Chain A
Amino acid sequence: MPEPAVHVENLSKAYRIGVLDGRPDTVAAAALATLTTPFRNFRRLSRLNTFKSQEDAPDILWALKDVSFEVPEGQALGIIGRNGAGKSTLLKVLSRITTPTRGRVRVRGRVSSLLEVGTGFHPELTGRENVFLNGTILGMRRREIQSKLDSIIDFSGVERFLDTPVKRYSSGMKVRLAFAVAAHLEPEILIIDEVLAVGDAEFQRKCLGKMEDISGHGRTVLFVSHNLLAVGGLCQSAMVFEQGRCTFCGPTNDAIDHYLSDASVKRTTDPEGFVWFQNRNNAYRPNQLLILAARVLDSTGAVTSKFRPGEGLIIEILVDDLSEIPRGGIGILLRSELGQLITAFNTFMSPFDEGRRSSKEVVRLTVPRLPLVPGNYWIDISVAAKRAGRVDYVDQALALHIVDADIYESGYGISSRDGFFFIEGSWQVTPSEGLEQATPVSPTNL
């Protein structure tokens, strides 16, 4: 098996935080620190019963803790997580900007990274000189850089400003040039960190296109972004980072699910595809869990979470004894990835036959056509009573993925660019015989 492009083993990175960060920052303080070393060591020893090790000291922040993974050559890997999860620190280590506190990293190939706006640019140098600077750092010869210069200028669109110092560039220009440089200098590994958000939509599209191109040519791409749609579009697999640890590594859609879902609610899937919601509190009726499990089926009855735009689906919810809830009803809320409420269904709208035959029952909602554009969606489940209001609620109970599809079979794939909804329509053309431009109607003719 060929060697992976990136191999990370038990990587940890610690930072000292706070004013009393332990490391003196003046020579005088350093001298004093050296003199008082025996006293500090003694105090540390006597504190051993409070902290098991130096690791738990309050002024140490583990930005990365025990991270291990491998990236095969040519893969596009997404890295997602909340702010402060350690994604940027990981990229800094991979770009050799900061050194690991523990563990090791092996990187095969030249790395070009875009870590922040204007990355790797010397503010006093012009755009052209910065291209050469980055090129020489990547190990390219002058002639090589010269030959790539034109395509870089072309892609970045900053030709007019090429001979102006970079410190005068706007942030959009900086990121355009930085991306152009990083992508065109043909590194074996390209690392992009949350930088595209600064550019306008057109630029972001261009960049993603170029990254797909690079990935398609067999080069490795590591992409950190909060734009989950972009990550989903480009990367085959993704890693989720939480508080310095990698909590998930796998196919991108599953990683996105993991990231977006409320981790405190334990989800287990049973063999029939029901997702059970355990370990949760009912904020409305403590100790009374009414919503037990749920699943999504396609129109043939198979358990799935992926659908094409316009396809029908069935949602089944396993509820506990609802007989205690007078005039109770069940609701399903469909939300976008960002939490916007798209539509809702509930049993007050379209009543169902409430045959209370057993205490636990499966409530089924059939949606013949769901006209949504491709993207990730969430289903919230709620139980409410007409007078009492909400009685139970599970946020982000199920995930729904509407995939890109060529519904009309015309070669045009419907995608999230086409709005929020997928509404069917058809076109016709008829010749316009006999229709001539009518004489304009003047007000007096009316």
Chain B
Amino acid sequence: MNRSPSQPVVTLDARANPWWVDWGELWSYRDFFLFMVYKEIRVRYAQSALGVGWAVVQPLATMGVFTVVFGGLVGVQPDGDVHYAIFSLVALVPWTYFSGALNLGASSLVLNASIISKIYFPRVFLPLVASAAQLVDLLIGFLLLVGMMVLYGVVPSVTIWMVPLLLILLVLTLAGAALWLSALAIQYRDVKYAAAFLIQLWMYVSPVVYPTSSVPTAYQPLYALNPLVGVIEGLRAALLGTRAMPWNLILIGAGVAMLMAVSGFYYFRQRERLFADVA
């Protein structure tokens, strides 16, 4: 019988250092992660008309409602010389991705409790599966955005190269938040309810329906502790050219996102040992 010369040796020690991460192990489970992402994507797009459609309908419909309510009734003035519709759509596309993936990510451990308690794999992948799978939605949303930009005759600015970087920042924020929320949700029952509510509030704390310029300048650095501020304003600057690239806001946001991601990862790993016991 052929046996590979190097068999994996796993040591489980009660006194193991919770801060030490076996990166090699995470790497060796990449196939599992890719499989879960592929499955998630496939499930969403199995009924392809509906799946693709949802990625377009959701931001579009929300944009419509926001334009009428905030653009028209409330009379929010966007920066620069753009229609409110496109102003809000630029924010809605990343926001829809963020809120959808975070909602799924937060409950990922709870939803998968049945396999968590029966088979071993690094649980840290689970909250990130939704983030990865919904990138397809994000892509479709961006295509919609491009279409709308053409429609409104909006020309992106020279800082368009920032878009991929801003998206990376977005994913980083998402990952950090998902790790924190999912680890909390599986231990504390009330977090499940709190998560959806929290995400809803988050939207109002982000410049989705109003521009950052509405916030008094003195408070803007505080406001920018929300990484989405940097992301959304940066995207507006890059794609619509309505304002200068807000480097300070982006940098503050990046710092916070990094902190959230790293702390989320370590908190998750530290609590991981309990998951099967409390699931």
Contacts and interface: CB of A to CB of B under 8 A. Distances in A.
Interface of A: 12, 15, 23-30, 92-93, 95-111, 113, 115-116, 118-125, 129, 132-134, 136-137, 139, 141-142, 188, 217-218
17 contacts: A15-B277, A25-B188, A26-B189, A29-B188, A95-B120, A96-B10, A96-B120, A97-B118, A106-B10, A119-B119, A121-B118, A122-B115, A123-B114, A125-B39, A137-B29, A139-B29, A139-B31
Contacts of A188: 3, 7
Contacts of A109: 7-9
A115 B276 contact: no
B273 interface: yes
B110 to A, nearest CB: 13
Interface in B17-67: 28-29, 31-32, 35-36, 39, 43
B194 interface: yes
B187 to A, nearest CB: 7
Closest 3 CB pairs of A and B: A120-B119, A96-B120, A99-B273
A12 B9 CA distance: 21
Contacts of B15: 104
A28 B190 contact: yes
B12 interface: yes
A99 B14 contact: yes
| Residue among B43, B112, B119, B189 with max Cβ neighbours from chain A (10 Å) | B119
B1 interface: yes
A275 B92 CA distance: 83
Contact of B187 (A12, A25, A98, A115): A25
Contact of B13 (A104, A134, A139): A104
Given A109-B8, A121-B118, A139-B31, 19 more contacts: A12-B14, A25-B278, A97-B117, A97-B119, A99-B12, A100-B14, A105-B12, A106-B10, A106-B12, A108-B7, A108-B8, A109-B7, A129-B39, A133-B32, A137-B32, A137-B120, A137-B121, A139-B28, A188-B7
Contacts of A98: 273, 276-277
Contact of A96 (B12, B14, B278): B12
Contacts of B117: 97
A59 B35 CA distance: 41
Contact of A136 (B31, B118, B276): B31
Nearest to A139: B28
A100 B12 contact: yes
B32 A115 contact: no
